[in-house]
Structure 1
Amino acid sequence: MRRRPNYPAGAVSLIWLVLVGLPLYVMLTATVRSRSDYARNGPLALPEAFTLDNYRGAFDSGFGQYLLNTLLVTVAVVGLVVLLVPPLAYAIVRSRSRITSGVFRLFLLGLAIPAQAVIIPMFYLISQAGLYDNLIGVVLPTAAFCLPVSALVLSGAMRDIPPELYEAMAMDGASPRRMFFRLVLPLSKGGLSTIVVFSALQAWNGFLFPLVLTQSDSTKLITLGLYDFQTEHGINIPGLLAAVVLSMMPVLLVYLFARRALVQGLMGVGGK
């Protein structure tokens, strides 16, 4: 049978392509245009002359230091989450203790508490601990707010492991520790990839904690560094968009390489 072309679907797809592609075109072309060219010809015009001055200006203004600070915070947050969540999820799945169930419910309660509701007590605690205007003061609360979702995702992935595998290893004399390292972790790679990507995105895109808990340029993150392109005389839009492109490239690369594991991990949150 001969298929008829679906013209309405094609038209809708074309409209969607324009809606998605136009902002990307405006952003990418603005980064290689001069500020005068952008102001004179508008955002939709092609560049009069190709230039990388906007990217060089971003690094000259200290944006490289902001990228490094954000990378350090992201690595530290991911490290804490990967260190704490797998043993917690394993205990939640395998333990029948009421204490473990209570701890899991306490973690789930954290899903209902927004960061904005506790930012003032958080500021007080960080200040009293001597961690204000320190990257560690950003790492700790960011990791804490990543733990509930990460524990939920990874425990769901571990519940998908057949109980027969645990019984087989127990019959072979394997200890719970050996089960954790030889069985659970290898079969939970999808969930582990999901919590790594999730916590990395939360740390990289965080704004509230860096805004409230840091002050100096030496501890500034990229989400705050974008304000450097706004002055009392206006906004350097090409420079700002160049900084936005630089800030989103690492996240885009992580998503491209880990998107399949991220989707599979989120689909397995509820278990089988």
Structure 2
Amino acid sequence: MKRRPNYLAGAAAVCWLLIIGTPLYAMLATAVRPKEQYVDSGPLAIPSSLTFDNFRTVLAGDVPRYILNTTIVAAATVIIVLALSVPVGYAVVRGRGLWSTGVFRLFLLGLAIPSQAVIIPVFLLINQLSLYDTYWAVILPTAAFSLPVSVLVLVGGMRDINKELFESMAMDGAGPGRILVRLVIPLARGSISTVAVFTALGAWNGFLFPLILTQSADTKVITLGVYDFIGQYQVNPPEVFAAVLVSALPILAIYLLARKSLLRGLAGAGGK
């Protein structure tokens, strides 16, 4: 039977595309035009002349160092989160008893605690540990607040693994560590990639912890570095948008490289 075209769904898709595409177009168009043209024509006008001076100004400043700092923070956060959440997820899935359920509920409780509500205790704790204005001051709290959702995603992915595979490896004499490395991690790589990408994205876009727990240029991340182009009495929008684009390229590259694994992880282990 021939299907009738769904004009309503098509119109809704076009409207959604305009809603999403308009800010992206404004950012791209503003980043490649002079400031005078932006002031005269506005952000949505088609640029009459293109310039890459905004990007040269951004790259000639401290933005590359801020991107390096952010990369260090994001990479360390992902490593810590994966090193902790993968074993915890495996223990929750394979554990038998109230302790595994209790641990899982404890991590789920962390989803209800916003970082803004505990920023003062975190600040005092970081000060007592002499970690203020260091990479660890941002890495540790970011990893802690990324663990609950990471464990939730991994538990959901690992539960889709066939139980007969666990029993088969156990009958062959494999211990829990070998089962984790040889069976669980390969079959749950989609969920692991999902956790890695979302953790990296959260660490890359983090603003509250870097703002409160760091102050020097040596530890400044890119979300704070964008404010270097916002003066006290004036703002240069083309340079600001150029800095935003430069800061978004690394995380966009990570997403494109892990896109297939990310989609498999969102759909469930093994692409189910």
TM-score (norm 2): 0.92
Q: Is the 8 A contact 2:193 2:258 kept in 1?
A: yes
2:184 aligned residue = 184
Q: CA deviation at 1:162?
A: 1.2
Is 1:234 matched with 2:234? yes
Partner amino acid, structure 1, of 2:254: V
Is 1:102 matched with 2:76? no
2:70 aligned residue = 70
Q: Residues 190, 220 of structure 1: CA spacing in aligned structure 2 closer, same or farther, 3 A cutoff?
A: same
Q: CA deviation at 1:4?
A: 6.1
1:129 aligned residue = 129
Q: Distance in 1 between matches of 2:97 and 2:2?
A: 63
Q: Distance in 2 between matches of 1:3 and 1:109?
A: 47
Q: Distance in 1 between matches of 2:143 and 2:245?
A: 25
Q: Distance in 2 between matches of 1:258 and 1:75?
A: 15
1:118-176 deviations in Å (ceiling 9; x for gaps): 10000000011111011111000000111111111111111111111111111111112
Q: CA deviation at 1:260?
A: 3.9
Aligned CA-pair RMSD: 2.0
Q: Distance in 2 between matches of 1:28 and 1:36?
A: 16
Q: Distance in 1 between matches of 2:140 and 2:171?
A: 41
Aligned-pair identity in percent equals 56
Q: CA deviation at 1:97?
A: 3.5
Give secondary structure in 2 for the equivalent of 1:86.
Answer: helix
Q: Distance in 1 between matches of 2:194 and 2:251?
A: 14
Give secondary structure in 1 for the equivalent of 2:218.
Answer: helix
Give secondary structure in 2 for the equivalent of 1:217.
Answer: coil
Q: Is the 8 A contact 1:90 1:158 kept in 2?
A: yes
Q: CA deviation at 1:193?
A: 0.7
Q: Is the 8 A contact 2:77 2:143 kept in 1?
A: yes
Q: Residues 188, 5 of structure 1: CA spacing in aligned structure 2 closer, same or farther, 3 A cutoff?
A: closer
Q: Distance in 1 between matches of 2:243 and 2:54?
A: 8
Partner amino acid, structure 2, of 1:190: G
Q: Is the 8 A contact 1:58 1:239 kept in 2?
A: yes
TM-score (norm 1): 0.92
Contiguous gaps of at least 5 residues in structure 2: none
1:228-267 aligned within 5 A: 228-267=228-267
Contiguous gaps of at least 5 residues in structure 1: none
More displaced 10-residue stretch of structure 1: 73-82 or 53-62: 53-62
Q: Distance in 1 between matches of 2:263 and 2:199?
A: 15
1:140 aligned residue = 140
1:207-231 deviations in Å (ceiling 9; x for gaps): 1100100001111111111111111
Give secondary structure in 1 for the equivalent of 2:258.
Answer: helix
1:1-272 aligned within 5 A: 7-268=7-268
Q: Distance in 2 between matches of 1:127 and 1:265?
A: 38
Number of residue pairs matched by the alignment: 270
Q: Is the 8 A contact 1:153 1:268 kept in 2?
A: no
